[in-house]
Structure 1
């Protein structure tokens, strides 16, 4: 965008910027406290699992088992290192997102217009703000062009206020919104010294809402912690009753408490969400809150704008309809003298510094066709901003000779309504509009007026307008947009087009773009006239919502939410703010979006490509599925650990303490990386985007899924205890029995992590989804297992002995039967599905 900056506005030079920053600092509010590396580590050391490890290591030191005590301390280090690694990755990902979310501001420095990060604004800077932009510092207006500002964030007053350099109050404030026009202001306060900074309204202090999935996971972990405490007490009491040995009883109880506590789950959730948001950022999708990634996968309805989202937003001027000659002209005929007045007034009714693509085109056509460029001769001294239902806008210009130009443009219906045409003439124009609209053209009406004196009407509709004609734009659908909508429909997601354009144009473009059921159309005014019951029915049935305005958009979004839909709302303008805020997922356009839209949205698509939203939804589904897989894996593998620790004790078997804390913590060290690192890296399954969206009210595991995990765990338990009895029956001592049980459980653990990569596709089909981390973690687990079995030092430490090749084969066979039965179950279920 080109700005005509007054020559006397030079701004600060580099040395003045440096001096100002040294004196006043950076333009930053006091944000929420960010944890340092040391604080992250201290928070990790407060985790229940580490507290248990500390308690066990202390007991080992007391009884003189220094080897076990040192191992526990090493385990504390290992668990802390894994958690610290995950927390650091999450922290860096979120910091990268925050940095990308930093808005840019336009300032004049060294007599040049430059764009800088907002935090680099200094006191004394000359900042430029314009329609739709958030003001980022306090200052005084030094130059303006029909500038108005909404100060409701400070005053509570919703009406905008016009201000200029001559106003009694020419101050503008950080956190307020430019509603119209343009202003250059000199910065006087920044950061915490601004008015909004002093009253503590920093957005950085707003707490992030806890998502439904977070609540469910927190409740689950708390419930398991309570179960762990209960089992700990029971085991301690039972063991003490049998042995009268308090230390052994405490160790047994703590071992079981460790096996029950699913501390991997919250770590996995945080990691998945933060890294998911970071990966989306690399795709050009800026996520404001990492938890929104979860909601993305639940999207059931996408409410999209037409212009710039479905279409290219190029706004080529294809035709002009001149009322006087009653003829439609093509582009090659625009140089004709009879079209001069229409082109003239179409340009004057646009912003002097245009940012809308249509207005840029009108300025360009004016330059190319008019013999004399009069824009420097006239000054806009009064403006009626875009308003009304349908909307129109009016600009008043004057030159030094006091000659006036009053130009209006807007929706054809709005311009016809205020024009002096007869009903018959209006009907004729409406037929032309309908014919053009059916071809997918965007149409604006243009009118002129005359007015003496300065007692202007309060409403622009009260001028006496002369209808001049129509300007006809074509904004073609984006290339490949049909494929985008096919993907959306394949994913079971509905589409609603919400636009300010008319019915005929919207229907034509929507049909070309591949949107289904385009015959279902409703206008904004009809929306506002509906009863609640009619509105709920309309938002369900209708696909195209035309001539929409802010209240109507908000009503549609709220009605869809009331219907139980998870709504993604795409918007770019100031007027989209309320609907973006109300939607479950507000999506702003990064290129053409206003700052207020970006501020209201939860997600920003940097290149305005709707296909990116599909990538986001796919990512949300992948992450949710992978969290479920990780949690089901954790539940399934915890069950055999818990029962292997407790059942031999409760049933009075020959070796009641088959596992000690060192065995359990080794298993925890295998499970931790598997669920939080390996499953996070798992690719999306091939049919994920062919499924219907999940309901956001669904629990992360339904009863069927939970029962599958419990059955998997119980079958593995049966296999492990069978290995126990097999070893005892074949004359195995405690060390040999422990080795068989431990080996069988490690093999089962590795196989379970592989088979649970998919609950639909076979293990071999899952290998097509490359995830090298499975090979890395599984390989390390096997290397460590063989080291424990066959390296004497480790074998003695873990109180077990090496296995012969046939014993190793038996353990592997038992593990295969205990886990791979699920592959048969998947195969049978697949056959039943095909037979249906």
Structure 2
């Protein structure tokens, strides 16, 4: 189609069938059947229904009604968590365009943004959001705000693309970003889920995909605990019958113990935390494509990073002007600017022209000899009224020096200067000029006067040096893999803070060098220069053999082998190729090394949160199951009735899921690489002993109260206050009081204990008894003291789970 024409309706229909609509935030509605299936899989629901029915048959209608009413808050909790996910999707979708202006059948009109198709010509005016990804083909003075993708609030200049070559980054517009100035005509190329923003939304909607090693481990734990719980339940039912309590008591004892023992919270908590990880990393501009990356990114102990665009900004910027003897910087820059072409689009020319002073009025270029690899220079002839013709030249310093009239000693001096500047990681250009009365027939091969040297650099990204220091302090080895020369690579590594005295290894000698390096020596490896795709894979595998979890960044087809070999492949979202993204688990939406470090910090915090949540569940379930089994086995009245289990579940679920969502502070300080076990041996001992201490406190309070001549309901009240207080103390201790949800659940726990015991109507429903002041003091102390044992988990922060090594952790 002609570049400035839109589609016809017939073409739009054809493209819609082929590529689909622009449904960027599309989400299939949750069917009623799916909701029923989810509800049917919850053992708590069946427990409430069956025991409510049993109480109804026995004529205990009040208890039956209480259990049926309890279904509402439990179901509401599930809906609330679902709503949190839905709200995050809506938040991501809120920045998308609702309507778009397009040219169809030659007529400019407004359509719903989701009706846009690939091939449409969209017209975007200032203040509007780009409706899809495309290439700008017309417009002047364009600036866009791309913070929804990159997080950067600064305006980004955009320029129209003309021609058949691949469009540069500044010609692309992206869904979810906003036009600030100018009117942009955009040829839509990618719609719906194929857009960059669509991938972010899909990651939140779909959540983690596939099963991870951690999920498999939790599933095995659940199966073991489930089998043990069923065996204990059958034993308890048999003992209660043997003791003469009857079938109803035996059923309630076994059913209550089963619900208390079934560890349904573990998979729920794991799934929720992984979903939170995917969402948080997306908000950090790291798009997680596979859930396994949420596990592994937090445990990365080595990063193999490319240089251009990740450690550096991926653009050329003017650095230095070194004028020749008796020359000034202004004349040097004028010569360099006259030898550059504004229309070339060459980043080198752009860097020179941005810095050069205006050449003055009247100059007219009459001839141009463009840069070629064999000539290694570019020259232009300029004229101005009543002045001699001037030839300006720039190019490789060695070539320019050969064309200039100078003594050998002077030439050697300037070559030494060139080597010194190159060793600093700078690209060096020589400049010269020549005047004559009449334009020569060919490009001059000698007689030029040397104007001096100019240098340009690919600047180190803001924050990279600080990120490198953080990574090293956190025990993460960073290796820069680059195609640059040894001296250039070493200079950039020093400037970026990758190593204080980096010693680069050349890819030509890499295999031999890796075979000679021991474990400690390999840990010092920081720069590999002149690296080929195969050699990048050799580095990754060598680091993995030494026991490291390796993250690799890349953007091109040549990076795909290393990305595939890595434990975590990280592709560049802005300039990365589709092949690089397809083999990666994470896509960086800002192509920034600092984002990798932030993602590692986020991952490590996520699994610290998960560990503490699991520790809380274990410390709560140990006393819950122990007392639910031991007290009936000893022949005492039941400690827990169904209403009590409901009460506890309403506290445990939000505590484990929401109480440990501590946010990361963007710092890796104190977050060291972690070994393979989820809990260290010391921590398992703390979990077991603390859980048993709480169980002993609850059991002691109950037994002593019963033997003291009090009624069973009074003893149950004492035991319940003890357990609920311990639950609150465990929550606050393990979360270190770091979240509002933890404090809220803890306060609800204290408040619920007070209400259910002090308010007579609620106490009757819960089969509890009012307590005296001294009873409250005893129960509170009995709950607080053993719960404080969890503080030892915080004194010695443990490791996050490390999945099996290379191969087994990948899906």
**What TM-score does the superposition give when structure 1 sets the normalisation length?**
0.69
Asked if residue 72 in structure 1 is aligned to residue 67 in structure 2, the reply is yes
SS in 1 for 2:660: helix
For the Cα contact (< 8 Å) 2:598–2:667, is it kept in 1? no
Asked if residue 87 in structure 1 is aligned to residue 90 in structure 2, the reply is no
Q: Hey, what's the Cα distance between the residues in 2 that align with 1:231 and 1:101?
A: 55
Q: Hey, what's the Cα distance between the residues in 1 that align with 2:546 and 2:370?
A: 51
The residue that corresponds to 1:689 in the other structure is 669
For the Cα contact (< 8 Å) 1:319–1:329, is it kept in 2? no
The residue that corresponds to 2:220 in the other structure is 219
The residue that corresponds to 1:659 in the other structure is 640
Query: What is the Cα deviation at residue 605 of structure 1?
Result: 3.8
The residue that corresponds to 1:152 in the other structure is none
Q: Hey, what's the Cα distance between the residues in 1 that align with 2:399 and 2:46?
A: 71
The residue that corresponds to 2:788 in the other structure is 820
Deviates more, 1:612-621 or 1:718-727: 612-621
Which among 424, 432, 437 is matched to residue 439 of structure 1? 424
Q: Hey, what's the Cα distance between the residues in 2 that align with 1:693 and 1:295?
A: 11
Aligned counterparts, 1:79-158, within 5 A:
79-90=74-85, 93=88, 120-122=116-118, 145=164
- Give the 3 Å change call, closer, same or farther, for CA 661–525 of structure 1 in structure 2: same
Asked if residue 672 in structure 1 is aligned to residue 672 in structure 2, the reply is no
Asked if residue 46 in structure 1 is aligned to residue 41 in structure 2, the reply is yes
1:443-464 per-residue CA deviation (whole Å, 9 max, x = no partner) reads: 5899xxxxxxxxxxxxxxxxxx
The residue that corresponds to 1:748 in the other structure is 726
Q: Hey, what's the Cα distance between the residues in 1 that align with 2:25 and 2:85?
A: 19
Q: Hey, what's the Cα distance between the residues in 1 that align with 2:600 and 2:345?
A: 37
Q: Hey, what's the Cα distance between the residues in 1 that align with 2:793 and 2:7?
A: 73
Deviates more, 1:523-532 or 1:71-80: 523-532
Q: Hey, what's the Cα distance between the residues in 2 that align with 1:317 and 1:591?
A: 23
For the Cα contact (< 8 Å) 2:726–2:783, is it kept in 1? yes
Deviates more, 1:590-599 or 1:793-802: 590-599
Query: What is the Cα deviation at residue 810 of structure 1?
Result: 0.8
Which among 477, 487, 505 is matched to residue 494 of structure 1? 477
SS in 2 for 1:679: coil
For the Cα contact (< 8 Å) 2:597–2:668, is it kept in 1? no
Deviates more, 1:803-812 or 1:8-17: 8-17
Deviates more, 1:562-571 or 1:472-481: 472-481
For the Cα contact (< 8 Å) 1:298–1:694, is it kept in 2? yes
Q: Hey, what's the Cα distance between the residues in 2 that align with 1:686 and 1:223?
A: 38
Aligned counterparts, 1:132-281, within 5 A:
145=164, 208-243=209-244, 245-281=246-282
1:41-72 per-residue CA deviation (whole Å, 9 max, x = no partner) reads: 53133123333333333333333333222222
Q: Hey, what's the Cα distance between the residues in 2 that align with 1:331 and 1:206?
A: 57
- Give the 3 Å change call, closer, same or farther, for CA 264–26 of structure 1 in structure 2: same
Q: Hey, what's the Cα distance between the residues in 2 that align with 1:480 and 1:825?
A: 34
Q: Hey, what's the Cα distance between the residues in 2 that align with 1:55 and 1:393?
A: 88
Q: Hey, what's the Cα distance between the residues in 2 that align with 1:638 and 1:368?
A: 77
Gaps of 5+ in 2: 123-133, 138-160, 168-184, 195-204, 379-392, 401-409, 432-449, 798-811
- Give the 3 Å change call, closer, same or farther, for CA 270–803 of structure 1 in structure 2: same
Q: Hey, what's the Cα distance between the residues in 2 that align with 1:772 and 1:73?
A: 30
For the Cα contact (< 8 Å) 2:7–2:120, is it kept in 1? no
Which among 552, 560, 578 is matched to residue 569 of structure 1? 552
Q: Hey, what's the Cα distance between the residues in 1 that align with 2:351 and 2:776?
A: 77
Query: What is the Cα deviation at residue 668 of structure 1?
Result: 1.4
1:525-544 per-residue CA deviation (whole Å, 9 max, x = no partner) reads: 22256676769887543211
Aligned counterparts, 1:291-310, within 5 A:
291-310=292-311
1:641-662 per-residue CA deviation (whole Å, 9 max, x = no partner) reads: 111111122223xx23121222
The residue that corresponds to 2:6 in the other structure is 12
Asked if residue 522 in structure 1 is aligned to residue 522 in structure 2, the reply is no
- Give the 3 Å change call, closer, same or farther, for CA 694–218 of structure 1 in structure 2: same
Aligned counterparts, 1:156-555, within 5 A:
208-243=209-244, 245-318=246-319, 332-334=330-332, 343=339, 357-358=347-348, 360-361=350-351, 434-442=419-427, 472-527=455-510, 540-555=523-538
Q: Hey, what's the Cα distance between the residues in 2 that align with 1:643 and 1:669?
A: 20
Q: Hey, what's the Cα distance between the residues in 2 that align with 1:363 and 1:86?
A: 56
For the Cα contact (< 8 Å) 2:269–2:656, is it kept in 1? yes
- Give the 3 Å change call, closer, same or farther, for CA 302–122 of structure 1 in structure 2: closer
The residue that corresponds to 1:175 in the other structure is none
Query: What is the Cα deviation at residue 746 of structure 1?
Result: 0.9
- Give the 3 Å change call, closer, same or farther, for CA 441–678 of structure 1 in structure 2: same
SS in 2 for 1:9: coil
Cα RMSD, aligned residues only: 5.3
Query: What is the Cα deviation at residue 216 of structure 1?
Result: 1.7
SS in 1 for 2:614: helix
SS in 1 for 2:551: strand
Aligned counterparts, 1:613-762, within 5 A:
613-652=596-635, 655-680=636-661, 682-683=662-663, 689-695=669-675, 698-757=676-735
1:322-362 per-residue CA deviation (whole Å, 9 max, x = no partner) reads: 9xxx999996445676x799x56xx79xx9655xx447547
SS in 1 for 2:743: helix
SS in 2 for 1:541: coil
Q: Hey, what's the Cα distance between the residues in 1 that align with 2:492 and 2:60?
A: 77
For the Cα contact (< 8 Å) 1:663–1:798, is it kept in 2? yes
SS in 2 for 1:233: helix
For the Cα contact (< 8 Å) 2:25–2:93, is it kept in 1? no
- Give the 3 Å change call, closer, same or farther, for CA 785–98 of structure 1 in structure 2: same
Aligned residues: 693
- Give the 3 Å change call, closer, same or farther, for CA 562–483 of structure 1 in structure 2: same
Query: What is the Cα deviation at residue 244 of structure 1?
Result: 6.7
1:730-750 per-residue CA deviation (whole Å, 9 max, x = no partner) reads: 221111111111111111111
The residue that corresponds to 1:778 in the other structure is 746
Q: Hey, what's the Cα distance between the residues in 1 that align with 2:788 and 2:674?
A: 28
Deviates more, 1:254-263 or 1:226-235: 226-235
Q: Hey, what's the Cα distance between the residues in 1 that align with 2:780 and 2:206?
A: 54
Query: What is the Cα deviation at residue 721 of structure 1?
Result: 1.0
Query: What is the Cα deviation at residue 821 of structure 1?
Result: 4.6
SS in 2 for 1:11: coil
SS in 2 for 1:689: coil
For the Cα contact (< 8 Å) 2:427–2:455, is it kept in 1? yes
Query: What is the Cα deviation at residue 601 of structure 1?
Result: 3.8
For the Cα contact (< 8 Å) 1:218–1:266, is it kept in 2? yes
Query: What is the Cα deviation at residue 814 of structure 1?
Result: 1.2
1:397-425 per-residue CA deviation (whole Å, 9 max, x = no partner) reads: xxxxxxxxxx9999x9999xxxxxxxxx9
Q: Hey, what's the Cα distance between the residues in 2 that align with 1:651 and 1:777?
A: 33
Q: Hey, what's the Cα distance between the residues in 1 that align with 2:682 and 2:652?
A: 23
For the Cα contact (< 8 Å) 2:683–2:793, is it kept in 1? no
The residue that corresponds to 1:797 in the other structure is 765
Asked if residue 610 in structure 1 is aligned to residue 578 in structure 2, the reply is no
Query: What is the Cα deviation at residue 473 of structure 1?
Result: 1.8
Q: Hey, what's the Cα distance between the residues in 2 that align with 1:303 and 1:612?
A: 14
1:493-529 per-residue CA deviation (whole Å, 9 max, x = no partner) reads: 1121222222222222322332225332112222256
